[in-house]
Amino acid sequence: MRAAARAGLLAATCVAVVVSLFPFYWMVRTSIAPADETFFQGIAWFPSAVDLSGYARAWTDGGLGRAMVVGLLQTLSILALQLLTCVPAAYVLAKVRSRATGIALTAVLGCLLVPSQVTLIPLFIGVNVVGWSDSLVGLVLPFTTSAFGIYLIRQQMMTIPDALLEAARADGLGHFRRLTSVVIPMAAPGIAAFSVFSVFAHWNEYLWPLLISRSPDMRTPPLALAVFQQADVGYDYPALAAGAVIITAPIVVLFLLAQKPFVQGMSGTEITG
Amino acid sequence: MTLPAAVAMTVFVALPALLSLIGSFFEIPLTGGAWRFVGFGNFTDVLSDPAVLQAIRNTAVYSAITIVPSLVIGLSLALLANAAGRGRPFVRTVLFLPMTANLVAMAVVFSWMFSYPGGFVNQVIGLVGAEPVNWLGDPATALPVVALVGIWRTASLTMVIFFAGLAAMPAALDEAARAEGIRGLRKLFLVTLPTIRPTVVFATVLAILSSAQVFDTINVMTQGGPRGSTETVLTMTWRIGFGYFDLGAASALAFLLLVVLVGIGILQRRTLSGWGR
């Protein structure tokens, strides 16, 4: 590659890195800067002093502390339910060949295409009729299973050689034992990728909690932050930014830890799809 | 073993979708009384409402200015991250970050950056002597600014997908292209893109879905304002359904969006299946 082209690539990469990171930097900077430096006084790229008190105010006044607990319970419950329903279904769709599984696979792909706003209103009415609004059950239950999860995990399970399963069957293992001792360990990357995806999606979910959570005790992290922002509490920008950092940090940490399986799992999705 | 998933899928996806279709032909009292059949009344109601028509127009504009840039930038970023030398893991991680970001948190930060008159963007354009612009308060600029946040986010999402697609490309292809002296843009259009065509389709579908269903950023940054200039189909569905409690009309609007999306899906399949052979 010529030197000019190389320099151009480097410059483009630097611009992309800065644009990607700048909002994160701005969020952290605002959270630790004195309140009157939220908006520029001239060009104040760096805070003149470090003040961490905004984090305490976000945690208590903003209700973020309580919301983090609700968010954790909601996200992990959804993940547990989705793994319990998706993994066995994916196994059957990947490794049992019959007309019924062919139809079921088509049904799963069909459900994959239904956008969330179409199911939103009936689900809202249903949850209200049953009396689950403003409860953890109401936040979790509509996401019991995931068409995307079944599809993604099935794609991974397709790569397991049939001979291996035949051998396990010859050893006298039933469907359940074959699933737990052969299929799940071998499909682990796909299951891990889906788990990360599910946690991302439901930790960040805003629309459904906005409908379901009425009392302050049931707010999820994004909802608590949005309420905090709209509450107009004397424009406490550092506390609001601290709240943004608090709800962003767990996901970023999870992403840094799970980046590799996530990308590997993703690369299985579209090749055969 | 498929029973739990089948039951859940039926109860939480298939049945609600069906009910939504049926419900769009009824007037639904929120208190739980009897539904009243109104035929296509809900559809004619929403389609004759100027606010809804504006929301549809806004969604089209928002999609037009986010989808293509998100795809082009996402692909460029994936190629850049691939070309980065020793810094590759770092560059990749940083460019993936916007995809993981919580949109509510980011919407809060972006609304400060674009605030009037002392936000970051106004300070920067002030350096070259420009007057501050009321970005989110002016109907002419509010939608493009929200779309910019959409591009920031969606480009990162499509980049992850392109990156995974490029990683799965056979190395032999690269060598063959080099042996033939095919490089640069010619290589991109003649070799790379045709090879990762399924990835392109997948990324396009995701970009369309995320633009057509934009909600979080708008709800936090502008709440549909100023003067309805950032109201989109989904924020309008939400307003009609849960602000005005007209669940039938909201279902009708949600279904119209679904029909358009399915239509685009079919069109796209037709176009792309003849491309890159």
Q: What local confidence, expressed as pLDDT, does residue A1 receive? A: 56
Who has greater pLDDT, B149 or A175?
B149
Amino acid in position B108:
V
- For testing the chain B interface, which of A1, A22, A30, A39 should be mutated: the one with the most B CBs within 10 Å? A39
Residue A202 is predicted with a pLDDT of 93
Query: What pLDDT is recorded for position B272?
Result: 59
Of B105, B160, B213, the CB nearest to A263: B160
A90 CB-near residues (< 8 Å, 6+ apart) = A149, A150, A151, A153, A154, A157, A187
Confidence band (pLDDT; 50, 70, 90) for B37? confident
Nearest chain A residue to B158 by CA: give it. Answer: A266
Name the residue facing A17 among B94, B119, B212 (closest C-beta).
B94
Structure tokens at B190: 């003649």
| 8 Å CB contact between B100 and A250 | no
Backbone angles phi, psi at B27, to 5 degrees: -95, 120
Per the rule left: phi > 0, alpha: psi between -120 and 50, beta: everything else, A232 is: left
For residue A148, pLDDT beyond 80:
yes
Distance, in angstroms, between A207 CA and closest chain B CA?
7
Q: Is A53 on the interface with B (CB under 8 A)?
A: no
| Angle separating helix axes A53-60 and A64-95, nearest 10 degrees | 70
d(CA B140, nearest CA chain A) in Å: 23
Residue type, A229: Q
A113 at interface of B, judged by CB pairs closer than 8 A: yes
Stated pTM of the model: 0.86
Q: Do B112 and A21 touch (CB under 8 A)?
A: no
Question: pLDDT by residue (tens digit) across B38-56?
Answer: 888 888 888 888 999 999 9
Tell which B residues from 43 to 82 touch A, by Cβ distance under 8 Å: 76-77, 80-81
Q: Does A25 touch chain B (CB under 8 A)?
A: no
Instruction: Note whether A118 contacts B2, CB cutoff 8 Å.
Output: no
Does the pLDDT value for residue B191 go beyond 60?
Answer: yes
Query: Residues 183 to 202 of B: which have CB under 8 A from any A CB?
Result: 198-199, 201-202
Least confident of A36-50, B53-67, B134-148: A36-50
Does the structure show a pLDDT above 70 at B271? no
Please say if the pLDDT value at position B142 is more than 80.
yes
pLDDT of residue B23: 82
* A38-60 average pLDDT score: 78
In 3-state terms, what secondary structure has residue A231? Answer: coil
B168 phi, psi to nearest 5 deg = -85, 0
Task: Look at A16 and B6 and tell me if their CB atoms are within 8 Å.
Answer: no
As a whole number of angstroms, the distance between CA B261 and CA B205 comes to 10
**Integer CA distances (angstroms), A221 to A70, A141, A205, B130, in order:** 8, 18, 9, 38
Number of A:B CB contacts under 8 A? Answer: 243
- Closest B-chain CA to A12: B80
Which residue's entry shows tokens 């996401």? A143
In this structure, what token pair is assigned to residue A263? 């990308």
Higher-pLDDT residue of B79 and A111 is B79
Query: Around B127, how many Cα atoms within 13 Å sit in the side-chain half-sphere?
Result: 10
> What is the ipTM score, two decimals?
0.86
- ∠ Cα A9 A12 A14 (to 5°): 110
Task: Tell me if chain B has a CB within 8 Å of the CB of A206.
Answer: yes
Alpha-carbon gap, residue B6 to A104, rounded angstroms: 8
Residue A27, token pair as written in the block = 């969020």
Over 80: is that where the pLDDT of A265 sits? no
With a CB cutoff of 8 Å and minimum separation 6, the contacts of B223 are none
Q: Which of A227-236, B163-172, B210-219 has the highest mean pLDDT?
A: B210-219
Q: Which of B94, B167, B219 comes nearest A21 by C-beta?
A: B94
In angstroms, what CA-CA distances link A248 with A41, A107, A222, A261? 27, 35, 9, 21
Contacts of A26 in chain B (CB under 8 A): 109, 112-113, 120
